[in-house]
């Protein structure tokens, strides 16, 4: 047999044939960054990092880092829900976090993730919005939840949802008093249990995302940015603390069997439990 | 907030500092996984993150210079960073003005002729705002550029100074800035003591100017000590790891 005409260094091979390069690893059951196919990257969670915000969190999953801040403002309630406040989540993917993003209006990906999170928060009824009412029909609390991504290395949805849930968990809002058309909020001394209240979260949904790679439909847990680019589909499973499903999303060309979905749900259960332990530790 | 409280009779400011004292500074480099260089800087409660990408291919071919790199600075203030939530659009004039200050401060310092036909992008994210945003942005940018390995003639250290009540003070916080004190931001090259940026918008009596400038210069020198220590510690750390 003739000797091959070209030989490549691994990094050249990765640039020329990224999928083939990746396949060499997955057939052995590992990934280029050393992880097993079902391993999630190390995750750290920090509470209350921003003192100007009512609630805040910073979450790192591998190289993906998100800072989330919650600000509470007084506003008029929506016409059809006069006794409920509302949440406005927003995920920002700026050019700072990766060279993939260009400056300008929010990209399609940022809008899609924001909307996905909005849906999870609404449909899972994470918060009883009546708790946010100050004066029915006149004034309610609006919670602006802004998650800013500072470093993007794949799997923005998991990181964003975790950051938002942690931030909502440590929100502290000053108790307002309503007097003849004006809202008075006590300022001055530090917020404590007497002059402020925390949110009562009914459920804490957390998610686990998997990428579907190749015709062999290899499932990769917690894809990083290179794995996201070469994968053909993604599955996201969202579960709350009782193990109930809050959301399942599957996008992409590859179709996968029911057993694959079941495996993903089991893996997601373990992962979300692990995430909750991390959140509660700190 | 009555003016009398800005400087107590003993000469202590609102947060207990002396007039010539800087706030607690925390600085770290190489905090972001994707950027070529990054730095995180805290001046007391003002927290700024800087990311540098470059030199890389310029986005707009028309702007490319044949003999040097172009600098591009974008400043983003997070909505939760200030006391009241404010959704500042990217084209907010104040932010664009601040970004252009940073750009003009670094243009003479970065040795751009080493990187022709390329672009150096500097992204600044203000995470928490408690006065002295411009100085924090400039300091964070210096460290991020050094972390990215981009050649510069010197550090650029910035410091705010102003006249609080009866004395000149440095590193003003938000309460001091927003009350009726004059405030000037100065960026300096520490080795040569040359000033690359001066910015002041309030009124200051010309007799007090010299004192305020002198104090700001000293503040910049103090900043330089802190920043240099962080960079050297990191370099030692890396050198140690590489030697193994």
* B199-224 per-position pLDDT tens digit: 888 888 888 888 889 999 999 999 99
Residue A278 neighbours by CB distance under 10 Å: 16
Q: Is A69 on the interface with B (CB under 8 A)?
A: yes
Put simply, the answer to whether B85 touches A51 (Cβ < 8 Å) is: no
DSSP-based three-state secondary structure for A272: helix
With beta carbons under 8 A apart, name residues in chain A contacting B85: 71, 73, 144
Q: Which residues pair with A59 in a beta bridge?
A: A45, A66
pLDDT digits (tens, 9 = 90+) for B142-175: 999 999 999 999 999 999 998 887 888 888 888 8
| Any B CB within 8 A of A59 CB | no
Average pLDDT over chain A reads: 88
Q: B1 falls in which pLDDT band (50, 70, 90)?
A: very low
Q: Using the structure block, give the residue that is written with the tokens 């470059």.
A: B54
Q: pLDDT of B97-123, one tens digit each?
A: 999 999 999 999 999 999 999 999 999
- Pair B177, B135: CB distance under 8 Å: no
Q: Which CATH number fits domain B13-243: 3.30.230.70, 3.40.50.720, 3.20.20.210, 3.30.70.100?
A: 3.30.230.70
Q: Which residue from A63, A70, A104 is facing B33, i.e. has the nearest CB?
A: A63
CATH code of the domain made up of A36-281: 3.30.230.70
Q: Does A4 touch chain B (CB under 8 A)?
A: no
DSSP H stretches of helix in B194-244 = 206-243
Rounded distance between C-alpha atoms, residue A218 and residue A169, angstroms: 35
Residues of A in contact with B32 (CB under 8 A): 65, 96-97, 150-151
Q: Hey, where are the domains in chain A?
A: 36-281
Place of tokens 């899972």: A124
Closest CA to A239 of A145, A146, A120: A120
Q: Testing the interface with B: which of A46, A64, A66, A96 to mutate, by most B Cβ within 10 A?
A: A96
The rounded distance, in Å, linking the Cα atoms of B143 and B147 is 6
Could you say which residues from 87 to 106 on chain A have a Cβ atom under 8 Å away from some Cβ of chain B? Answer: 90, 94-99, 102-104
| pLDDT given at position A191 | 61
At B103 the pLDDT is 94
Write down the pLDDT at residue A189.
Answer: 58
- Other C-beta atoms closer than 10 Å to the C-beta of A148 total 27
CB of A63 within 8 Å of a chain B CB? The answer is yes
| Single pTM value for the model | 0.88
Q: A199: helix, coil or strand?
A: coil
Residues of chain A contacting residue B84, judged by C-beta atoms under 8 Å apart: 73
Dig out the tokens for B85 from the structure: 């939530």
Decide if pLDDT at A145 tops 50.
Answer: yes
- Is residue A62 within 8 Å of A156, Cβ to Cβ? no
Nearest to B76 among A56, A71, A94 (CB): A94
Contacting A with CB below 8 Å, chain B residues are 32-35, 45, 47, 49, 51, 53, 56, 59, 74, 76, 78-85, 90, 121, 123, 125, 127-130
Position of tokens 């949802």?
A: A161
Q: What is the DSSP letter of B23?
A: P
Give CA–CA dist A122/A165, Å, rounded: 13
Instruction: Reply yes or no on whether the pLDDT at A168 is more than 60.
Output: yes
Q: Is the pLDDT of residue B4 over 60?
A: no
Strands (E), chain A: 43-47, 55-61, 64-75, 86-93, 133-135, 139-151, 172-174, 176-179, 182-185, 196-198, 206-213, 218-221, 233-239, 245-252
| B78–A148 CB contact, under 8 Å | yes
* B132 SS3 class: coil
Does residue A282 sit in helix, strand or coil?
coil
This complex has an ipTM of 0.84
pLDDT of the residue at B125: 94
**Which residues fall within 8 angstroms of residue A255, CB to CB, at 6 or more apart?**
none
CA distance B53 to chain A (A): 8
The set of residues, in sequence order, having a beta carbon less than 8 Å from that of B169 and lying 6+ positions away, is: B7, B13, B19, B20, B161, B162, B163, B176, B215
Chain A residue whose CA is closest to B78: A148
How far out from the chain centre does Cα A30 lie?
A: 25
Best CA proximity match to A64, nearest among A106, A30, A93: A93
Give the lowest-confidence range in A177-186, A248-257, B177-186: A177-186
Q: Is A161 helix (H, G, I), strand (E, B) or coil?
A: helix
Q: How many CB pairs under 8 A join A and B?
A: 87
Q: Average of pLDDT values for A199-222?
A: 88
The mean of the pLDDT values for chain B is 89
pLDDT of residue A19: 86
Nearest to B45 by CA among B1, B11, B14, B10: B14
In this complex, is the C-beta atom of A188 within 8 Å of any C-beta atom belonging to chain B? no
Q: What percent of chain A stands above pLDDT 70?
A: 95
Q: Smallest CA–CA separation between B123 and chain A, in Å? A: 5
- E strand spans, chain B: 25-29, 37-43, 46-57, 70-77, 118-128, 157-164, 167-170, 182-189, 194-200
Tell whether the model's pLDDT for residue A80 goes beyond 80: yes
What would the mean pLDDT of B76-91 be, rounded to a whole number?
A: 78
Instruction: For residue B123, give both structure tokens.
Output: 């992204």
Separation in Å, CA of A2 to nearest CA in chain B: 40
Round to whole Å and give the CA distance between A74 and A132.
10
CA dist B172 to B38, B137, B167, B181, B235, Å? 25, 15, 12, 10, 31
List C-alpha distances in Å: B162 to B56, B129, B134, B167, B170: 39, 18, 14, 8, 6
Contact B33, A154 (CB under 8 A): no
What are A38-56's pLDDT values in tens digits? 899 999 999 989 988 899 9
Q: Which pLDDT band, with edges at 50, 70 and 90, does B90 fall under? A: low
The answer to whether residue A194 scores a pLDDT higher than 90 is: no
Q: Which residues pair with A178 in a beta bridge?
A: A183
């Amino acid at each position: 047999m003739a000797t091959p005409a070209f030989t490549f260094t691994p990094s050249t091979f990765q640039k020329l044939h990224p999928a083939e390069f990746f396949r060499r690893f997955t057939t052995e059951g590992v990934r280029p960054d050393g992880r097993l196919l079902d391993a999630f990257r190390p995750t750290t969670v920090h509470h209350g990092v921003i003192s100007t915000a009512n609630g805040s969190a910073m979450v790192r999953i591998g190289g993906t880092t998100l800072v989330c801040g919650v600000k509470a403002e007084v506003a008029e309630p929506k016409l059809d829900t006069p006794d409920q406040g509302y949440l406005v989540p927003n995920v920002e993917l700026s050019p700072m976090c990766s060279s993939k993003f260009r400056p300008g209006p929010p990209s399609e990906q940022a809008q899609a993730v924001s909307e996905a999170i909005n849906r999870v928060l609404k449909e899972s009824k994470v918060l009883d919005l009546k708790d946010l009412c100050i004066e029915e029909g006149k004034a309610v609390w609006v919670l602006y939840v802004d998650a800013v991504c500072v470093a993007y290395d794949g799997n923005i949805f998991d990181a964003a949802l975790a950051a938002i849930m942690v931030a909502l968990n440590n929100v502290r809002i000053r108790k307002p008093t309503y007097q003849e058309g004006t809202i008075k909020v006590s300022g001055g001394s530090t917020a404590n249990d007497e002059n402020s209240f925390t949110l009562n979260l009914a459920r804490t949904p957390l998610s686990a995302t998997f990428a579907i790679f190749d015709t062999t439909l290899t499932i990769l847990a917690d894809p990083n940015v290179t794995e996201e680019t070469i994968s053909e589909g993604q599955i996201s499973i969202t579960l709350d603390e009782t193990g109930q499903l809050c959301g399942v999303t599957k996008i992409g060309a590859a179709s996968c069997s029911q057993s694959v979905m079941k495996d993903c749900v089991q893996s997601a259960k373990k992962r979300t439990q692990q995430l909750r332990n991390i959140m509660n530790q700190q | 907030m009555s003016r009398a409280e800005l400087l107590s009779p003993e000469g202590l400011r609102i947060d207990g500092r002396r007039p010539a004292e800087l706030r607690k500074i925390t600085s770290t480099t190489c905090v972001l996984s994707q950027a070529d260089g990054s730095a995180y800087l805290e001046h007391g409660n003002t927290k700024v993150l800087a990311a540098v990408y470059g030199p890389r291919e310029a986005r707009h071919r028309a702007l490319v210079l044949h003999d040097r790199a172009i600098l591009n600075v974008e400043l983003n203030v997070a909505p939760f960073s200030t006391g009241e939530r404010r959704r500042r659009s990217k084209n907010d004039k104040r932010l664009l003005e601040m970004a252009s200050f940073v750009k003009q401060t670094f243009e003479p310092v970065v040795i751009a002729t080493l990187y022709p036909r390329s672009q150096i992008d500097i992204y600044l994210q203000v995470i928490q705002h408690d006065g002295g945003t411009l100085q924090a942005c400039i300091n964070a940018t210096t460290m991020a550029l050094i972390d990215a390995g981009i050649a510069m003639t010197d550090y650029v250290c910035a410091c705010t100074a102003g006249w609080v009540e009866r004395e000149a003070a440095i590193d003003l916080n938000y309460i001091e800035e927003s009350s009726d004190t004059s405030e000037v931001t100065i960026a300096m090259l520490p080795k040569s003591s040359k000033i690359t940026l001066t910015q002041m918008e309030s009124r200051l009596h010309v007799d007090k100017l010299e004192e305020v400038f002198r104090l700001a210069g000293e503040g910049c020198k103090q900043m330089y000590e802190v920043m240099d220590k962080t960079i050297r510690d990191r370099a030692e750390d890396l050198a140690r790891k590489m030697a193994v």
